[in-house]
Amino acid sequence: MTEKLLEVKNLAVSFSAQGGEVQAVRGVSFHVSKGETIAVVGESGCGKSVTAQSIMRLIPEPPGKIKGGSIHFNGRDLAALSEKEMQKIRGKEIGMIFQDPMTSLNPTLTVGDQITEGLLTHQDISKADAEKEAVDLLRLVGFADPEARLKLYPHQFSGGMRQRIVIAMALVCKPSLIIADEPTTALDVTIQAQIMELFKEIQEKTGVAIILITHDLGVVAQAADRINVMYAGEIIESGTVKEIFYDTQHPYTQGLLASVPRLDGDRSKPLIPIYGSPPDLYSPPAGCAFAQRCEYAMEVCSKYAPPVTYLSGQHQTMCWLQDERAAGMRGPKVTIK
Amino acid sequence: MGIPTKQKTEHSSVPDDLFVPLNKDSAQLENIVRPSVGFWKDAWQRLLKNKLAVAGLITIIFLTIMAIVGPMLTPYSYSEQTLSNQNQPPSAEHWFGTDNLGRDMFTRTWYGARISLFIGLAAALIEFIIGVIYGGISGYKGGRTDNVMMRIVDILYGLPYLLVVILLMVVMGPGLFTIIIALTLTGWIGMARIVRGQVLQLKNNEYVLASKVLGANTSRIIRKHLLPNTMGPVIVSMTLTVPGAIFAEAFLSFLGLGVSAPVASWGSMANDALGVLNTGHWWRLFFPAFFISLTMLAFNVFGDGLRDALDPKLRR
Amino acid sequence: MLKYILKRFAWMILTIWVIITLTFFLMHSIPGDPLDVGDSGGSAAASENLRAYYNLDQPLPVQYFSYIKNIVTLDFGPSMTSRSSTVNDMISSGFPASLQLGIASLVFSVISGVALGVLAALRHNKMIDYITMIVAVIGISIPNFIQSMLFINYIGANFDFFPVARWGTWRHVILPALALSSGPMAIIARLTRSNMLEVLTQDYIRTAKAKGLSARKIVVKHALRNALLPVVTIMGALTASVLTGSFVIERIFAIPGIGQYFVNSISNRDYPMIMATTVIYSSILVFMMFLVDIIYGIIDPRIKLHTKED
């Protein structure tokens, strides 16, 4: 197994709000090896973005707070670093890409200014050299005439082009890890494919590791090496793409897969939605958070939190159905060929 | 370090008899956590939580009551001169003292409150009526009508407000009603712009289109969508017009263009006090200055609170 | 960009023309003869001479066009209160003091307003925030003429450092400028604060943070500029408030500026002076708004594109 670049252990993040505390992330553990792409998948509000922002220590404090756990990156615990030390990691060793390219660029500064700014902050480099780097990067992300683009303002680009600029910005200091938080959600489907292709290309050229945060399993299938499925602030199943797609264990993951439209599948089969909504994280349920929506739910699920079951080297899940006493409780397994 | 809220369960400690299908309470599945609260009720509740705004509202109520009954609490009238009683400091007979003509300052102060509040409310009301009609027509008709109407507003908007008011006062002569006319002749522009902007924006908003598609008739759209969304900014603007008008009246009276001589207004009382600044007759300036500031403060604070309470984006 | 400037310029000229016309016809619609005021007992011949001197013997349209012609050549005609001097004399004698006061007030209100607003936003919901906003609301609520009277009574009377009458040294400027600028300052502080708070929640601020920029750099480079854009747009209105405020402030502090002349001309019914001051002040304001539009076009790159598409 390759060297671990990032290892998150038992991360717990809460937001204080009127009348209590929202436990957005409740004990999440995963790791990223050098040069690989892992995906964190889940519906909105499951805590995936909070996890991503916690790694960068970007959650607003207050009201947010990292309540527990560790985030080891290149041997250092990011959760324990001071703001000053963290500034040296952000942008330099970990780059971040946000969801909406329309709003994540400053409208009053030129694109060149915004790309070079990271370099000028972290490296002892002249403005002219920084601009040269920016030109190279813009070419890498697919601009034909990068020199002319540097002088333009964000509003002069389309959404897809802006996302390329944001990617260039994240790459500027040659980080070893990029966190992409829903990088394609705000884009047209055709552009989405182009951007995902670009990620692959960049990874081949630079060897950067990527954490891909998304709610879209379709995006993940081609891009990621491993998948973590999050629900209500916990990772409920994780494994390689193959394991998640072809040997699905957790009913929630099954539900997710069943609700993804497919072009190559059996079209006479209807898409199956997951009924209900996630629990209120003000007061998380004592048992499994998915129990109320789960079609295989047992009495035990509502009373006791399910333990982690290790199925193979990579594959693990948190579900009572894995207990031998639950044999026969599961109906026909939903697998997609 | 463990997970703070729940313990990972050991398989063996869990009783076997729990491995049976869960009897789910299906009603719980789609429950909405928060009870739905109407817009106005919600806004009112949030306003009540804002202590400053509530203090402003209470002050406004107090000032209004005093404006009505204040002058009746003394045996003096606002214009009654007692030359033997010039410049008396506050005492049991004259609670706020007397001015250089021996007039009772308490009576004059609350009489001034009547003038100020009347001007403020009248200006706000007239501006509201003109602004809603003008802006509403402009926004609702759109196209050419809107274009012409807004060009006119643009030119008027470029004129310096107080200067125009001064000019009008010079032309029309001093007096309570000429002040109101002069103030509203230029003051409605801001309101018209707000209303037009709101109507224009809402007219094309997706939820209005959606309810049109769903077969809602015009009156329902106006009642359910346009009014609640337009009224917020309009009410806030009205609340903030009041201190502006009160200031303008005081300003004009201070320049000698306000209400005519024996009538008391806070601005003219402050103006009267200008000549006696160095004589130590502090009450001559203090009372009109204090109450004009208090009134404007109360309306400003209340208007701010109202703005926050009515902002749908701040709803939680 | 040039097209944008030209368009704004044409708009400015149009507005000024409307103001001149409005002023002219308003002043001539006042019932009675302006020369009747305080000028009784003169002989008929003398009165005729005076009418000719003030150009009042001509029909109204002729008067109007000659007035426009004179204004274009910056000649505002003779004054009515002091027969010997022209309006131009009075304005040029009052202008320096008014200009000093106006600029001092504007500069002070912008600098302190922005500083307080930023400070309050960065310490959101802390003590400094509350204090600043309470002071701002009080600044808006106490009329400037009341403030200046309080200043004279309590500061000027007790500290010789601040002279309260006449004009001359920089020390004369402080108290009137303070009274004149506190209102605009409070407005700027509130606006800056709310804009800063809004901008600081924007995605591009998070992006800048993710690049590893220091908090100071994020505020200066990314937040402040965007937060100040709306402040620029109200500069026209603030200049108006400083200008009109100067009428009473100059009167209270006995500053020999145009505002002083204007207030006197109102009580003396000196129509040429009233018209001239109105036209001059309005033109300054309209020109300020023109400048604001241009500056806005320069600092906000989105405006340029918008007008290119026109």
- Residue range B85-125, pLDDT digits in tens: 777 777 777 777 777 777 777 888 888 888 888 988 998 89
- C102 or B16, higher pLDDT: C102
Which pLDDT belongs to residue B109? 85
C167 C-beta neighbours (distance < 10 Å), count: 18
Which pLDDT belongs to residue C38? 47
A38: helix, strand or coil:
strand
Which pLDDT belongs to residue C310? 31
* A330 min Cα distance to partner chain B (Å): 10
HEC letters along chain C: CHHHHHHHHHHHHHHHHHHHHHHHHHHHCCCCCHHHCCCCCCCHHHHHHHHHHCCCCCCHHHHHHHHHHHHHCCCCCECCCCCCCEHHHHHHHHHHHHHHHHHHHHHHHHHHHHHHHHHHHHCCCCHHHHHHHHHHHHHHHCCHHHHHHHHHHHHHCCCCCCCCCCCCCHHHHHHHHHHHHHHHHHHHHHHHHHHHHHHHCCHHHHHHHHCCCCHHHHHHHHHHHHHHHHHHHCHHHHHHHHHHHHHHHHHHCCCCCHHHHHHHHHHHCCHHHHHHHHHHHHHHHHHHHHHHHHHHHHHCHHHHHHHHHC
Would you say residue B174 has pLDDT above 60? yes
Which pLDDT belongs to residue B61? 92
Would you say residue A188 has pLDDT above 60? yes
Nearest residue to A34 via CA among A168, A167, A199, A177: A177
Which pLDDT belongs to residue C304? 52
Cβ <8 Å between B19 and A308? no
Of B162, B270, B301, nearest to C137 by CB-CB distance is B301
Sign of CA dihedral C167, C172, C175, C181: positive
Looking at this protein, which amino acid is placed at residue C269? R
Which pLDDT belongs to residue A146? 84
Which pLDDT belongs to residue C33? 56
Cβ <8 Å between C207 and A92? no
Would you say residue B30 has pLDDT above 70? no
CB A44 within 8 Å of CB A20: no
Q: How large is the C-alpha radius of gyration of chain A?
A: 21
**Chains in contact with A, counting 3 or more C-beta pairs less than 8 Å apart as contact:** B, C
Whole-number Å distance between alpha carbons of C211 and C205: 10
Looking at this protein, which amino acid is placed at residue A104? S
Which pLDDT belongs to residue A332? 45
**pTM confidence score:** 0.80
Would you say residue A170 has pLDDT above 60? yes
Whole-number Å distance between alpha carbons of C99 and C110: 16
CB A189 within 8 Å of CB A13: no
Which pLDDT belongs to residue B156? 79
Which pLDDT belongs to residue A336? 38
Q: Return residue ranges of chain C for CATH 1.10.3720.10.
A: 95-265
* A232 min Cα distance to partner chain C (Å): 24
Which pLDDT belongs to residue C37? 47
**What backbone torsions phi and psi does residue B285 show, to the nearest 5 degrees?**
-90, -40
Cβ <8 Å between A100 and C203? yes
Residues A260-289 pLDDT 10s: 776 666 666 677 777 777 777 777 777 888
Position C291 confidence tier, pLDDT thresholds 50, 70, 90: confident
Position B32 confidence tier, pLDDT thresholds 50, 70, 90: very low
Q: Is B16 part of the contact surface with chain A (CB cutoff 8 Å)?
A: yes
CB B155 within 8 Å of CB C14: yes
- Identify the CATH homologous superfamily for domain C95-265: MetI-like (1.10.3720.10)
**In the predicted model, what is the mean pLDDT of residues A34-43?**
88
Residues C123-181 pLDDT 10s: 887 888 888 888 888 888 888 888 888 888 777 777 777 776 667 777 777 888 888 88
Structure tokens at B9: 């369960």
Nearest residue to C146 via CA among C74, C265, C249, C280: C249
**Chains in contact with B, counting 3 or more C-beta pairs less than 8 Å apart as contact:** A, C
- C186 or C261, higher pLDDT: C186
DSSP structural state of residue A292:
G
Which pLDDT belongs to residue A330? 65
Integer angstrom CA distances of residue C115 from B284, C106, C123, C174: 36, 14, 12, 19
DSSP structural state of residue A185:
T
CB interface of A with B, residues 265-294, below 8 Å: 275-277, 280, 284, 286, 291-294
Cβ <8 Å between A299 and B21? yes
Which pLDDT belongs to residue A216? 81
In total, the C-beta contacts within 8 angstroms joining chain A to chain C are 79
Residues A78-126 pLDDT 10s: 888 888 888 888 888 898 988 887 888 888 888 888 888 888 888 888 8
CB B313 within 8 Å of CB B253: no
Distance of CA A237 to the CA centre of its chain: 15
Residues contacting residue B172 through CB under 8 Å, at least 6 positions apart: B178, B181, B182
Contacts of C14 in chain B (CB under 8 A): 155
The interaxial angle of helices B51-69 and B39-49, nearest 10 deg, is 90
In total, the C-beta contacts within 8 angstroms joining chain B to chain C are 105
Which pLDDT belongs to residue A251? 84
Residues C48-94 pLDDT 10s: 666 666 666 677 788 888 888 887 777 777 776 666 667 777 778 88
**Chains in contact with C, counting 3 or more C-beta pairs less than 8 Å apart as contact:** A, B
Best of C16, C80, C145 to disrupt the B interface by mutation (most B CBs within 10 Å)? C145
Cβ <8 Å between A108 and C300? yes
Which pLDDT belongs to residue B88? 73
